[in-house]
Amino acid sequence: MDSLLIKGGAPLCGEVTISGAKNAALPIMAAALLTKEPCVIQGVPDLSDVRFMGQILSWLGAKVRFDAGNVHIEAREVKGAAEYDLVRKMRGSICIMGPLLGRLHKATVSLPGGCVIGARPINLHLKGFEALGARVTIGGGYVRASGRRLTGAPIFLGGRSGSTVLGTANVIMAAALADGVTVIESAACEPEVVDLASFLNAMGARITGAGSPTITITGVKALHGAVHKIIPDRIEAATYAIATAATRGEVTLKSARADHLGAVLDKLREAGVCIETNGAGIKVHRTGKLRPVDITTLPYSGFPTDVQAQMMALMTLTPGISIITERIFESRFMHVSELARLGADIEIEGPSAIVKGGKPLSGAPVMASDLRASAALVVAGLAARGTTTISRVYHVDRGYEDIDGKLRKLGARVERITES
């Protein structure tokens, strides 16, 4: 298992190119199951989660080939079942269910189960499939959905914490080949949903409204192959922006899209970070003192839960008190106790973390527990005095392409230790 050894204190300076979005790539790769024709997905990040989605698609019968940032997928024949050993490794693999149901009118997928950030239920996905006319049963750890024909319907996808990103993706994909018109109300508005709809429309689907809470899908008889370029990863961009602020650096995030990062850039500006945007990317610069900010995570266009941990790391360096409230995943505070090992003063009260920032952090051995928690440890380690060793780096590698290489190019003293 690899570790990252970070000697903190070096300001990040220069340019970094933001990779394609993991959370757009996963459902878009799954969407290629909806056609027998070849699809090419460009700008796909080289990440363990993406390679894993490739393995799932191969296992289901598709030909999958990765080549220099492109993934070629051809799903001539597809089988409609995915077992526990495939699905348990990545919760995101549930997004194969919509395309399997859409194409084969039946799908059997192992229930993904919970994970360290929360319960991860799929009740809204299943409600959507049922509304389309599928019969859904659960037994032996598997969920089965089948229906001789799927018929478009009105579907409300709002849940306790707002809508569901992969649930919206799953229902759109199942409805793309259904008879008639489906109208999803309270759909997720995330840019990754918009990117999926663009890919499906390029395949011949008829989807309007993606990016708003009402999405209309007019079913078509068949979809064809398409070429599509993935949007840049807004969470990776936010993480580098925060790391730049944490180290008093100056970095241009090439290809980052400011229009996908409104809430994050707004909070960074409020915290005293200088942000300039232009068509080519976003320039982040910090010289002065940081100011504490309060944050509540919300569905898009609110502050993303996937940036909560990294922002908390920044607030530990900021004199004063910030209150960070997590409204999407109930136990997404795994980073708190590890940040405390670096000297952070954080108290959890219900869904909120009270960060008493401003004390300098000092390096220590810490352990990554999930993807974004590990990113927070990287941010803190870059700013801390001395050496931080982050073990279980495979969590970081799930979502950050070549993180140590990119950080080194920006001047960070980061080394990957590979244990044989």
Specify the stretch interacting with ligand EPU by CB under 6 A; choose among 38-46, 120-128, 194-202, 310-318. Answer: 120-128
Residue 123 binds ligand EPU, judged by CB under 6 A: yes
* Rounded distance between C-alpha atoms, residue 355 and residue 116, angstroms: 21
* Rounded distance between C-alpha atoms, residue 167 and residue 172, angstroms: 9
Residue 121 binds ligand EPU, judged by CB under 6 A: yes
Residue 119 binds ligand EPU, judged by CB under 6 A: yes
Residue 20 binds ligand EPU, judged by CB under 6 A: no
Which of 7, 52 has the CB closer to ligand EPU? 52
Residue 334 binds ligand EPU, judged by CB under 6 A: no
CA distances for 279 relative to 21, 252, 257, 266, 276, angstroms = 18, 12, 8, 18, 11
Site string for ligand EPU, 58-97 (x = CB under 6 A): ---------------------------------xx-----
Residue 390, C-beta contacts closer than 8 angstroms, at least 6 positions apart: 3, 4, 6, 366, 367, 368, 374, 377, 378, 381, 396
DSSP H/E element including 397: helix 394-397
Applying CB under 6 A, the site for ligand EPU has a residue count of 27
Closest Cα partner for 168 from 145, 148, 185?
185
Which of 10, 193 has the CB closer to ligand EPU? 193
Specify the stretch interacting with ligand EPU by CB under 6 A; choose among 3-11, 112-120, 148-156, 224-232. Answer: 112-120
Distance in Å from the first CA to the final CA of the chain: 8
Strand partners, 419: none
Q: For residue 115, indicate whether it is catalytic.
A: yes
CB of 328 to ligand EPU, least distance (A): 5
* Rounded distance between C-alpha atoms, residue 353 and residue 123, angstroms: 28
One of 31, 82, 155, 165 touching ligand EPU (CB under 6 A): 165
CB of 188 to ligand EPU, least distance (A): 6
Specify the stretch interacting with ligand EPU by CB under 6 A; choose among 65-73, 76-84, 156-164, 317-325. Answer: 156-164
Residue 387, C-beta contacts closer than 8 angstroms, at least 6 positions apart: 5, 6, 7, 8, 363
Q: What tokens appear for 381 in the block?
A: 């380690």
Residue 219 binds ligand EPU, judged by CB under 6 A: no
Count of helix runs (H) and strand runs (E) in the chain: 14, 24
CB of 207 to ligand EPU, least distance (A): 18
One of 167, 225, 281, 292 touching ligand EPU (CB under 6 A): 167
Specify the stretch interacting with ligand EPU by CB under 6 A; choose among 163-171, 177-185, 352-360, 382-390. Answer: 163-171
One of 40, 124, 231, 243 touching ligand EPU (CB under 6 A): 124
One of 16, 73, 97, 122 touching ligand EPU (CB under 6 A): 122
Residue 301: asked if its preceding bond is cis (omega within 30°), the reply is: yes
CA distances for 319 relative to 191, 344, 358, angstroms = 33, 12, 4
CA distances for 180 relative to 35, 143, 202, 220, 223, angstroms = 19, 25, 19, 8, 15
Asked if 271 contacts 293 with a C-beta cutoff of 8 angstroms, the reply is yes
Residue 160 binds ligand EPU, judged by CB under 6 A: yes
Closest Cα partner for 78 from 114, 109, 48, 33?
33
CB of 350 to ligand EPU, least distance (A): 15
Residue 29 binds ligand EPU, judged by CB under 6 A: no
Closest Cα partner for 412 from 286, 243, 255, 275?
243
Residue 161 binds ligand EPU, judged by CB under 6 A: yes
CB of 9 to ligand EPU, least distance (A): 28
- Classify residue 9 as exposed, middle or buried by CB count within 10 Å of its CB (0-12, 13-18, 19+): middle
Catalytic residue among 13, 39, 115, 189: 115
Which of 23, 35 has the CB closer to ligand EPU? 23
CB of 13 to ligand EPU, least distance (A): 27
Which residues are known to be catalytic? 115
The residue ranges that bind ligand EPU (CB under 6 A) are: 23, 26, 91-92, 118-125, 159-161, 164-167, 188, 305-306, 328-329, 371-372, 399
